[in-house]
A = this chain, B = another copy of it.
């Protein structure tokens, strides 16, 4: 057995069963090992941002890390943006990054770079295997890191000679990796939160993040709200928010500073369950960065090291709310907007809520177009909603690939702006190759629309010609039907509500991927 084979066995033994790959020469022995050792599902991406974003989406749907296979420093560099998103989402990933054979490093060949240096900003753990004999130990530690609580980004640098050399010890395989346990609940914050809710429920907000956004956790939050009159909200970004008709209403904190300030203004205290002290996404001259009102008390109850569901259950118990009924969100209308309505964010949200199938997984990178979708889709059939977490654009299409692989049998709906989809369009090809049940919806406003708002928002005044040229994408217009077909996907362009509803329903009913370009009014 060589080092590469030892690593494939180690990954499989550790429960890593999917590898998203974009290999090069230095990874050929690992590729050969994936061939010889059965059990790993290998998914090729034509760009590394697809690979890392897919691993993020996969983790979010399975709570299990995937591996990535990347080609030296530049290949890892191409994957950094989506590792940033994955890191902020607390998605566990084992990156396997090939490197030159150790003796070759001294020669400073063209592809030589500081791989560990490139890895560190987006990795919690970085290790270079010194030899084939170290690969199993290092690989296992990478899995332990990726399966920690919260999960972590682990980057294992695999020199070509560590991959191709024979393992000379007995330690070529080290067996399974146990599930990481949550840290026990702290009594003090639990008592404080219970006391606050008991004495001033209507002045208290439960702000949920991380795994507190899963349905079972939200049910406890709903019972607590019903018993105490407290509010419940989600942080703006959520790795996976289980929501929809019949479930507890968990409105997301708005993105923009003013509406976020307004949403938080009335609360005297905020109990944080898997969420952080809410802050503005960007700083703006003269606007606050922290969003909680002055004097608002913050009560950190559970962080991602804790079990959010158990925490909320314990809190409900203290409040005598175990058997309190909670109000589920009423089902949104299944009637789509009239065909003469303009295709704007409001009609799009209502239309989505009407037609989205039960169990759908929405990957949301709709940016400016999607700003109002949270309220508009709250009563859609029960579904999961995934957002970028780290705010780095180019997350949506790759994460949809990984979500579809992690949740077979469920329809993935990737909502994307046209500008945002252009960062990682190569994901379309992987959807086609793997015949994934993904409906890609491109909202074509032919602009970095969010930046047109931000240009005004930062007080920069009216954009002139040079600035406008950097904010508008309509010279030439991207043709998303052609782009989709170029990547092997069927595609439709729609410009009215009926056409969009028909195209969505057809896509949902047809196995495999397709793309809809929505021409905005």
Chain A interface residues toward B at CB < 8 A? 21, 23-26, 28-29, 31-32, 34-36, 40, 42, 44, 46-47, 49, 73-75, 77-78, 80-81, 84-85, 88, 100-101, 103-104, 107-111, 113-114, 117-118, 120-122, 160-161, 164, 237, 276-277, 279-283, 285, 289-290, 388-394, 419, 422-423, 425-426, 429, 432-433, 450-451, 454-455, 457-461, 463-467, 469-471, 473, 475-488
Do A77 and B84 contact each other (CB < 8 Å), given the known contacts A108-B279, A466-B40? Answer: yes
Contact of A110 among B114, B237, B429 (CB under 8 A): B237
A485 — nearest CB in chain B belongs to which residue?
A: B482
Contact of A121 among B107, B117, B282, B461 (CB under 8 A): B117
Q: How far is the CB of A198 from chain B (nearest CB, A)?
A: 31
List B contacts of A34 (CB < 8 A).
466-467, 470
Q: Is there an interface contact between B44 and A451, defined as CB atoms closer than 8 Å?
A: no
4 A-B pairs besides A34-B467, A429-B476 with CB distance below 8 A are: A35-B464, A74-B392, A100-B283, A104-B289
| 17 A-B contacts (beta carbon < 8 Å) | A23-B451, A24-B454, A25-B451, A29-B460, A31-B467, A32-B463, A35-B463, A42-B470, A49-B78, A74-B80, A100-B282, A108-B276, A109-B279, A109-B289, A113-B122, A117-B120, A482-B482
List B contacts of A289 (CB < 8 A).
103-104, 107, 109
Q: How far is the CB of A323 from chain B (nearest CB, A)?
A: 38
Q: Is there an interface contact between A423 and B46, defined as CB atoms closer than 8 Å?
A: yes
Nearest first, the 5 A-B pairs at minimum CB distance are A476-B488, A77-B80, A483-B486, A74-B392, A482-B486
Q: Is there an interface contact between B483 and A109, defined as CB atoms closer than 8 Å?
A: no
Do A391 and B111 contact each other (CB < 8 Å), given the known contacts A75-B81, A432-B476, A476-B488? Answer: yes
Q: Is there an interface contact between B80 and A465, defined as CB atoms closer than 8 Å?
A: no
